[in-house]
A and B are shown apart, each in its own frame.
Chain A
Amino acid sequence: MATGCAWFLVLGSVFLCNLMKILLPTISSFLSKMVQKDAEQESEMRTEIQQMKKEQSSISMMDEFARYARLERKINKTTDKLKTHVQSRTAQQAKMKWVVNIVFYILQAILMVSLIWKYYSDPVTVVPSKWIAPVERLVAFPTGVAGGVGITCWLVVCNKVITLGLNAFS
């Protein structure tokens, strides 16, 4: 027969999965920042470019053309380097996001399958069958227990309610 808190366990699992789904972007950006080694280099390059541009603005092109041109070349070179760096960082972030999503969906699938496996024949809770007439068979699927609430029905209901609740709060 139904375990005491089976309904609560399923509810908690569904809540956790939905919460993680909302937090996925945050997790992926956090992980990509952790993995990225040369993040400081990018900020240094930006600072360097800003300083060079500031210096260039103080130089008169007519009077010190050679110096102006040298600075211009340096700025261009550093900007290209920064662009390459940013592109690789963006690609790495996208890759990390993809990996995190894949891992999450796999874990979610494993959790759902294990819950269904565990409560395949046991209902998560039992109520008098006349309360849920005439759809008692559908609600009890796949347990077949009269008056029981099956794992599939409870999963669908919990998922819908938690989605609504999290959307309302977000």
Chain B
Amino acid sequence: MESVESAEEKTGSMSAAQLRAERRRRKLLLTSEDRMNRIVGFAKNDPDNSGASRRPTEPHFHLDLDRTEPWSSSSPSSRASPFLSETPGARSHTATPERRGSPLPDFSELRRASLEDDVGGGLRQRAKGERAASDEVSGSPRRGLHQYLSRFDDAMKLRSQLANEKPAQEEGSDIEEFDPFRVFRLVGSVLLAVFVRVFVCKYLSIFAPFLTLELAYMGLSKYFPKVEKKTKTTVLTAALLLSGIPAEVINRSMDTYRRMGDVFSDLCVYFFTFIICHEILSLFGSETP
């Protein structure tokens, strides 16, 4: 009997200590969300909401303990973890609060018991009424908070990528990669320029064969092994990503820009070779009697 009494005393003291710890933790989480809301620029009445909704969390804890889902984060108004995708169910529910179970079932049971002692049924009813009002107000700040946090994470990742790629870019910023298809294109442009200078230029413009050649390259590109070109994270791509432009759009734009660059390179090589051939032929033509 004595042992049972002492065990009960211990559990009672533990539950009080745990309750205090739980309250402290909740308070810290509430203030953190207030801070984030202020940063995001929402809700001057957020403290009021958080204060008012603190009490609703206690019955939430009580109701939520039967759930087996992992705990994400606790908040006065069911704020999910910034690193988890926000699901409508996580926010919209009223009967299933945000605190998803507890790591220690014994602790949850004790807490439930202590919470039941502390909080009356009237509080629960009041909580339900307040929840409906606070959900609407806290929904948009939460979304903004999630968006802000996700953008912040993206910015940090891009920053680290930029820092890693900066030394490589400093060493070889102008070096272009010569894959087989690129070499084929350049050689083809040179040969065509020589051919056009010798045989074709008297009859039509030199750019007509060049355009035909580029069309042929477009068709031939699929027969060459595709070299996966690593998209470098530059300040421009990072700025575009952070401004909300989808990565796919950026990749396509960069790909188009790269293709245009290839065509321009071909044109320069073609025209250069043509002029050099012309000058050499003119020189030999002027030297021959």
Question: Complex Cα distance A7/B279, Å?
Answer: 9
Work out how many contacts link A and B, with CB atoms closer than 8 A: 47
Question: Could you tell me the distance in whole angstroms from the C-beta of B116 to the nearest C-beta in chain A?
Answer: 67
Question: Complex Cα distance A135/B267, Å?
Answer: 13
Q: Which residue of B lies closest to A133 (CB)?
A: B205
Question: Complex Cα distance A164/B131, Å?
Answer: 67
Taking a contact as CB atoms closer than 8 A, the residue among B178, B268, B271, B272 that contacts A168 in the complex is B178
Q: Are A161 and B269 in contact (CB under 8 A)?
A: yes
Q: Please tell me the number of chain A residues within 8 Å of chain B, measured between CB atoms.
A: 22
Instruction: Pick from A7, A157, A168 the residue with the most CB of B within 10 Å.
Output: A157
Report chain A residues within 8 Å CB of B278. 125, 127
Q: Which residue of B lies closest to A135 (CB)?
A: B207
Taking a contact as CB atoms closer than 8 A, the residue among A125, A131, A132, A157 that contacts B268 in the complex is A157
- CB of A160 within 8 Å of the partner chain: yes
Taking a contact as CB atoms closer than 8 A, the residue among A132, A149, A170 that contacts B205 in the complex is A132
Q: Please tell me the number of chain B residues within 8 Å of chain A, measured between CB atoms.
A: 18
Q: Are B268 and A170 in contact (CB under 8 A)?
A: no
Q: Which B residues, 260 to 289, have Cβ-Cβ distances below 8 Å to chain A?
A: 264-265, 268-269, 271-272, 275, 278-279
Q: Are A164 and B265 in contact (CB under 8 A)?
A: yes
Taking a contact as CB atoms closer than 8 A, the residue among B176, B206, B279 that contacts A164 in the complex is B176
- CB of A158 within 8 Å of the partner chain: yes
- CB of A156 within 8 Å of the partner chain: yes
Question: Could you tell me the distance in whole angstroms from the C-beta of A155 to the nearest C-beta in chain B?
Answer: 11
- CB of B174 within 8 Å of the partner chain: yes
Question: Could you tell me the distance in whole angstroms from the C-beta of A72 to the nearest C-beta in chain B?
Answer: 36
